[in-house]
Amino acid sequence: MLRVGGVSLVEEKLADFSNEYINCKVRVETSVGVVIEGVLVKASRYWFKVRTDKGVVYVNKAHVVSVTPIASSPVCRGGRGG
């Protein structure tokens, strides 16, 4: 964070690439071996919201080992949002 005289001039954003797969079909692998496949609807600082065939699943990022796009899915509509 850039400070001048104790005043923050620029907020530092941590590198987090979660938003790259918004609206993409993904495979989320957790630390306990659970695999969730669905569309990544939203990503926040601490969780992913994934729409699966069985409904919406919220996944705590602390338990995520990997998030990969599913190759057979169409091109992601990309961007930020959800």
- Per the model's pLDDT, the better-predicted residue between 44 and 10 turns out to be 44
Task: Look at residue 62 and tell me whether its pLDDT is greater than 90.
Answer: yes
The tokens for 5 are: 């005289």
3-state secondary structure labels for all residues of 35-54: EEEEEEEEECCCEEEEEECC
- Please say if the pLDDT value at position 71 is more than 80: no
Domain 15-69 sits in CATH 2.30.30.100: yes
Instruction: Round the average pLDDT of the chain to a whole number and report it.
Output: 81
pLDDT grade for 14, boundaries at 50, 70 and 90: very low
Say if CB 10 and CB 2 are below 8 A apart: yes
**pLDDT confidence of residue 18:** 80
Q: Give the pLDDT score at 15.
A: 57
- Mean pLDDT calculated for residue range 9-16: 53
Rg of the chain in Å (alpha carbons): 16
| Nearest CA among 7, 82, 80, 78 for reference residue 50 | 82
